[in-house]
Structures are given as C-alpha cells and as structure tokens.
Structure 1
Amino acid sequence: MLLSSKKHEASRNVSAVSRKLRSIASGVILATFAAGAFAQSYPDKLVRLVVPFPPGGPTDTAARIIAQKMTDGLKQQVIVENRPGASGTIGADVVAKSAPDGYTLMMLATPTLLFPHLSGRKSADVFKDFTPVGVAYELPLVMVVNPQKMPDVTGLQQYVAKAKSQPGVLNYTSAGNGSFGHLSTELLKNLGKFDVQHIPYKGSAPAIQDLLGGQVSMMFSDMIAALPHIKAGTLRPIAVGSASRVSFTPDVKTVAEQGFPGFDASSWGGLVVPAATPKDIVARLSKEMQAVLSDKEVQAKMLAAGTIASYQTPEQMSTRMRGDFDRWGKVIRDNGIKAD
C-alpha cells in the first residue's frame, strides 16, 4: 500500500510539472503571437516625433522634412512635437519614460549625447534608455570670419598665424558654452597651439548677429545659421570641420586639408525610440527612414536647409554614439568646459 501511494503521489507531481510546463509554453507562444501581431498591425495610430529643441533650428528642420515623408510610408501621420530645454535632456526624459511601442520617437542630436560630460544634472541615459533607429542627417560646421574685421584672412592657416601673432587678443563666438562650435574651436586651439578668447551667446542667431556687427571676429557655426550670410558675402568661410568638403561650399577646404590631418568635427542627428521597443518595429522604422533619406526630393529639401541626408543603420548609429561620446568627452575634460 505504501509503495502504491508513493507511486500515485509521484505520478501526481509529474502531472503537475507537465501542466506547468504546458502553461509556460502556451504563454510564450501567445506572447510571441501577440508581439508578431502587434508588429504586423503597426502603426495603427498617430506617431509622435519629439524634437528636444526649439522650432526652427537644424534638428527641428531636419525632423520636419523627415516626418512629412515618413507619414507617406507609414500611412499614419507623424507629427513633430518640440520639447526644448537643457540641451535636449528635457525632451529625452519624456521619451525615455514613454511606452516602448513605436509611437514615440526622438531626434537625438550631438548636444544631448554630450550633455552628461557638461553637466552634473541627472537625465536619461542615452545608451541604456534608448534604442537607435538610424542616423538621419549630418550638420556640417563651417568656420567663418567677418571679412570687414579680417580682410586679409581667406584661409585657416592665415587665421592661425594671426592668432599666434596676438596671443589672447582675438575672440570667437559660439551658440553657448558646451555647444558643438565651442568644442570644435577648443579642439582646434589645442592642436594648433594658439589662443583666442571665447565669447558664448545664447544660441546661433545672436552670435551670428554680433559676428556680422563686428563685435566678434570668428565663429565655428552650423551651416544652417551661416549659409545665408556666406551667400550674401557678409561672412567669409575659411574652413569646414567635416572630414570631406561639403556641397554648400565646395571650394572651401576642410580643416584637415589645411594642416590638421584627421580633424573631423561634424554634428549629426538620428532617430531613437525607448529601449524596450520591439525589434520588428525598430526594423520597420529604420527601413522607412532609409527610404525617406534616399528620396531625391527629401535630399534637396535638406540641402536647401543646410543639412545633409545621411542614413546609417541602428548598429552604425550605436557605434557612432559611443565613439563621439568618448572622443568629445575627452575634449570637454581636457579644457574644463561646463554648460551654461
């Protein structure tokens, strides 16, 4: 009797384990099916693209061009929502806390990527809280001088020679402490061993205005802010920061071509989603973005706005994020730079 009882109890235990395993398996199958069905039905409502900067800037301009065309591919409206503040970290915090369902995207730009190096403020972790969808655009930097203030400076080496002849006398401006133009100029100063004084402004517009007015003599500016004045002849371009020349100013040599081999300072932006967004949805968004950025009309619109359409895969974007974070972090530490 005892043996029979033990056999019966063992049989019941086996049955219980078997039922539990079947239940787990069913749950996994249902979850997989649900995720697949969700991905197949995506998107079935409006998609929000958060730009963590004010309207009218380079990130906002590029995002609006891309959103308009992605609306066609996704067959759902993609609206741009501006959430500016703290170098983009206010908007980043909002997106990081959003549902990871593919209906909230963000245009991550260089200032937000580098903000942790510049401030002790706690904010979303760009590496842990987001999944890259792909690089969207390049924003070339151009070094411009006021031709009235510097009539004899037509190239970078002439500027460097002039700066070295007057250590600490010349000045330059930027869109603010910790802005990409600021970082790029400080890197160039370190490499060229010359000294010019930084006068930061609150944004590109007022900085450009005082450069035009002659209060400052040089600026490493984003192309969107500088291009109208270059075309008007009121600012003179003497170098571009990217590794290769740009179509906006094809005759202007790169910094690397003018005695600083390997110099590469190009701001950029790319789409990200909250970290736990399903892989199928990330792949769909990335595919749509690639199609948008290969469209000739989109490319022309972005060029007219001073940005360059430039798709890179999620994996390439992830590598680029880490590389830029480390490289420019060193420049920030070496020069003791802090955000405003």
Structure 2
Amino acid sequence: MKNLHRKFAALTLVAGVASMFGAAGVAHAAYPDKAIRVIVPFAPGGSTDIVARIVTQKMGEVLGQAMVVENKGGAGGAIGASEAARAEPDGYTLSIATVSTMAVNPACRPKDLPYDPLKDFLPVTNFANVPNVIEVNPKFPAKTFKEFVQQLKDHPGKYTHGSSGTCSVLHLFGEAFKQATGTEAIHVPYKGSGPAVTDAVGGQIDSMFDNLPSSMGQIKAGKLRALAIAWPERLKALPDVPTLAEEGYPQLNQPAWYGLLAPKGTPKEIIDVLHDAAVKALKDPEVIASLEKQGAAPSGNTPDEFAKEIKEQYDWAHEVVKKGNITLE
C-alpha cells in the first residue's frame, strides 16, 4: 500500500510539473496579448513615420494585436530613441531605427547621446530601403553627374548644396560626396528636407542631397534634375539616372533604411515572433504597393543582417564626421 501511495504521489508531482510547464508554454505562446507601442523618433508625416505606419498596421493584423505608433520627435531622433532604449524588454515597446538615430547621432554627439545604438537595442528587421539622390536646379550648368563633379572642381566654393540640417544624414551624404570626389561646395542647412527642396527648385541653392521620396515629385515635374542615385540598380521610375556605383563611387551607393528595434534584453522568442510577422507583412501586395508609392522597397532581412547594416552605417558616419571635422556647434 505504501508503494502504491508513493507511485501515486510521484505521478501527481510529474503531472503538476508538466502542467506548470504547459501553462508557461501557453502563456509564452500568447505573446502578444495586448497592444504594442511603437516609438517613431520623428514627427508625423515624414518618411520614417509613413513607412512605420504602413508596415506596423499590417503586422498588427498578423499578430492579432494593434501596433500603435507614437511619435517622439526632437534632437535628430535622439529623444525618441532614448526613451525606447529605456523601455521594459517585454516586447510591448518597440521603436523605429533610422540612419540618423543609429549612425549619424552617435557620430555627431559622441559625448552626450543618452543611448548606445549598438548596445541598447536588439535589431528585429529592416522594414524598407529608400534611395538617396543627388539633384540640381535645372539652370545649373551640368547635365550629368560627371559634369557636376567637374563644375565643382573647376569652381571650388562657388556652389551651394542644401540638407535637412547640420549633422543630418543628408548633410553627411553631401560631405561624403565631397570627400570622395575631392570637391568643395558651401553647405546650407535647413530645418528639414522640405524647405531645402523648395529652395533648390527656386534656385536659392544650386544642389541638394536628398532621400528620393522628398524630391520625386519635383524631379518628375522637371523642376529638379536628378544626376545620380544611391541604389543597387537603376530605378524604373528614373531609367536615365545612373547609380553612384555606375559613376565609379560604390562607397556612396548606400540607401537610407527604416527598421524595427526592441530594447536590449528582449527574449529571442519575442524577437522571432516580431520578425516573422514583419516578414509576412512585407510580402503583402498592399504593403509593397504602399511602400513603392513612397519610393521605398521592402526588405525583411534577418536580425543579424540588419545588425550588420546598422554597424556599417555607424562606421561610415563616424568616418565622415572625423574626416570633415563636423560638429553640432
């Protein structure tokens, strides 16, 4: 009888343990069981915000829980990125990564940046890539990229180029161009790419280094002349515009990107769930079409691949800032 009691007790213990692990498994599999907050570190209406909303809306449908975008702009994205870095690593506060927040800010603000882009986040995936473009006012005395470079070399310091602000990613794109080509031009910073594009169209500045979506309408209307793009191949929308790699500058042929991050310490299982949902969303025809309207191409790469992209841009930005002695003064 005692042996029977011992066997029964043992079976009860095993069943209890199994039940406990089973319950834990069910609880874990339930992620997400509430809405997910997604911090966009820029104001509403910009490229970062638009791409984030397109993809996360579909991701929410895949996950069965809403992904709620919250805009936290300021300081070149540093305010929103800092808040995201301090969030609980439970999968319910995520953020959007850009070249500005993950590479340019750390290069320009190495001493006072309140987060570490390489240590405080776990990459989930790159949502989408966007071409960069070099463009001029149609009155500029250069029809091609090579003629543009030659004009700058023949007249150092005569011409101007606009950007979305000092130490913005577009500023660094222009500086990288000048360093690679050995040219000189006067940088004119603006409070955003929109005003810079407006002045490029009006002729107040001669040229512009921009993300293509901001300028595509003006290029199509003939109010700006695109000379080269940073993209793996020529775009169907601009078949006559060569890539920077074609022009002999592969080091400049880097697109902008917008991706998803989780705070450091987020369990791998949650990262996997989010990554799978993002990949499914980025294969949806409506999402693809919406991104293409913005001049963006879906990515959906692995966390490791996205981490590599971040590190490459991080190193690039530091090199450009150091060579150009660029500061935020």
TM-score when normalising by structure 2: 0.90
Residues 1:118 and 2:108 are matched in the alignment: yes
Number of the residue aligned with 1:49: 38
Number of the residue aligned with 2:96: 107
**Could you say what the CA RMSD is over the residues aligned between the two structures, in angstroms?**
1.9
Match of 1:260 among 238, 249, 256: 249
| Cα distance, 1:211–1:248 mapped onto 2, change above 3 Å | same
SS in 2 for 1:320: helix
Number of the residue aligned with 1:230: 219
1:157-208 per-residue CA deviation (whole Å, 9 max, x = no partner) reads 0101111121110111001111222112211211211111111111011111
SS in 2 for 1:311: coil
Number of the residue aligned with 2:265: 276
In the alignment, residue 209 of structure 2 is paired with which amino acid? F
Moved over 4 A (4+): 28-35
TM-score when normalising by structure 1: 0.87
For residues 32-43 of structure 1, what are the structure 2 equivalents within 5 Å? 36-43=25-32
> Is the contact between residue 102 and residue 310 of structure 2 (CA under 8 Å) also seen in structure 1?
yes
Distance (Å, rounded) in 1 between the aligned partners of 2:196 and 2:233: 26
Match of 1:140 among 131, 145, 161: 131
The count of aligned residue pairs is: 311
1:61-115 per-residue CA deviation (whole Å, 9 max, x = no partner) reads 1001011111210111111110001111111121122111111110110000121
| Cα distance, 1:31–1:174 mapped onto 2, change above 3 Å | farther
| Cα distance, 1:30–1:173 mapped onto 2, change above 3 Å | farther
Distance (Å, rounded) in 2 between the aligned partners of 1:222 and 1:274: 27
| Cα distance, 1:34–1:271 mapped onto 2, change above 3 Å | farther
Number of the residue aligned with 2:151: 162
Gapped regions of structure 2 (runs ≥ 5)? 1-16
Following superposition, the deviation at residue 122 of structure 1 comes to: 2.9
Residues 1:195 and 2:188 are matched in the alignment: no
Gapped regions of structure 1 (runs ≥ 5)? 1-27
Residues 1:130 and 2:126 are matched in the alignment: no
In the alignment, residue 165 of structure 1 is paired with which amino acid? D
1:38-79 per-residue CA deviation (whole Å, 9 max, x = no partner) reads 430111111111100011111101001011111210111111
- Tell me which structure has the larger Cα radius of gyration: 1
> Is the contact between residue 161 and residue 185 of structure 2 (CA under 8 Å) also seen in structure 1?
yes
Following superposition, the deviation at residue 266 of structure 1 comes to: 1.3
| Cα distance, 1:279–1:156 mapped onto 2, change above 3 Å | same
For residues 321-340 of structure 1, what are the structure 2 equivalents within 5 Å? 321-339=310-328
In the alignment, residue 280 of structure 2 is paired with which amino acid? A
Match of 2:209 among 204, 210, 220: 220
> Is the contact between residue 59 and residue 278 of structure 2 (CA under 8 Å) also seen in structure 1?
yes
